[in-house]
Amino acid sequence: MGRLFGTDGVRGIINEELTPQQALLLGMAIGTFFGPGTKILVGRDIRAGGYMLKSAVIAGLLSTGVKVYDGDLAPTPALQYTIKTQDFDGGVIITASHNPPQYNGIKVVASDGIEIPRDKELVIEEIYFEQRFKPVSWKLLLEDAKPYPYVNDLYVKGVVEKVDKDLIKSRGFRIVIDPANSVGALTSPKIARELGVKVYTINGHLDPAFPGRYPEPVPEHLVETTRVVKALNADLGVAHDGDADRAIIIDEKGRVQWGDRTATILARYLAEKHPELPRKVYTAVSSSTVIEEVLKPYGIEVVWLKVGSVDISRTMQKNSDALCGFEENGGFMYPPHQLVRDGGMTLALLLELLASEKRKLSEIYDELPSYYMIKTKIPMKRDQALKVVERVKEYFKNYRQITIDGVKVIAEDFWLLVRPSGTEPLLRIMLEAKTREKAEELLSTVKKLAEEVLSGK
């Protein structure tokens, strides 16, 4: 039996790797898993084929007697928040998050608003591959999917309630929001305006071709956005991915700040403001070791986990001792709100931090240790990527290593992570060093090991 679910849901190139037929059958498998009479909320981002896949999934759910509510266009965290707070039994979200425009995907959410656990994914896959669907009698098919147009408003209200609105409003902030031509445009500007912030948008109209930029919010895709932040003399910019569960921050100098740096200053702020909260942060091995250096003096322990927001969310839920959780890609999880990545909540918290500090955002970031970072990827099959991981382990065998997801090598003046992608046929390479020369030397070493594997040596 094969696998459907990757790091975060089922993804593929639309109409090639992910077809409406597959979506229909997957909808039937999901409906069989939840059972007749359960209430399931369905929604999507703006990606190509989203309406088609949503319709196919809804057809499959209805065939198994599920009561379907259609939230349609909404950010992933907005749908998750609504599922959790409005007594739904689960949800299905049509999204491929940060992937290129030709991709779409399907993720399944439990009643707590978090993506279903890995063992439940296996159950759905077994139903799918063995075609153990449970269609119901026509007597249970008398209701169509019901529109549920409340998702975005419920979410905006929920975010705004978690921060000090008056404090933020008193500062008269001016910010730039770049929702990547997708559903973040429906909520983040509203959140900011509710907090008394002047908003300028770039790439704010909905368009499945993502004409403004690719949906992954990385520096090479944000060149124009950073120019706008500087030209408008804005206090900050925020860039979302396709489903707005990530928020990458641009400071007033136009510098793109990685998510783990933003998470570090947020964690420090939350620990100081809320001494009653726990003193553990949960993050993926892809995050910088800078977080240990900065947060240890505050008595905050860093718990390293494999890459994947689902695993971070579920671990935080199990342990009930998290100050926050995060990924370097801009996904930040604030437990008092919800245990999932939430770009809108990240923006609101950062505005509160900035209002409280009464300093420029660049000054706050500049307090963090400075490293030279490189993030890149090499196309290759998963089995080849795993071979590269083993060679990196051997080459750096005399250093501290974390091997829960690929291999992370940690030294006094650098760290590097080499791992297979969970969503694409790629080897992902991330590293930081205190000098550019050291970083480039490390990258050259890893590339050489990768070339040896690709050439069959």
Q: Across-strand partners of 301?
A: 280
Tokens of 365: 């970031």
Instruction: Specify the residue for token string 């090639």.
Output: 16
Is the torsion defined by CA of 273, 278, 279, 285 positive or negative? negative
Taking CA atoms, 198 is separated from 229, 351, 446, in Å, by 13, 12, 45
Give the CA radius of gyration of the chain.
22
Is the torsion defined by CA of 391, 394, 400, 405 positive or negative? positive
Which of 55, 97, 286, 421 is labelled catalytic?
97
359 by Cβ neighbours in 10 Å (0-12 / 13-18 / 19+) ranks as exposed
Q: Report the C-alpha gap between 56 and 44 in whole angstroms.
A: 13
CA proximity to 151, closest of 95, 77, 207, 218: 77
Is the torsion defined by CA of 178, 184, 188, 190 positive or negative? positive
Q: Across-strand partners of 40?
A: 68, 90
The two beta strands, 174-178 and 198-201, are parallel
Q: Is 288 a catalytic residue?
A: no
Positions marked active-site: 97
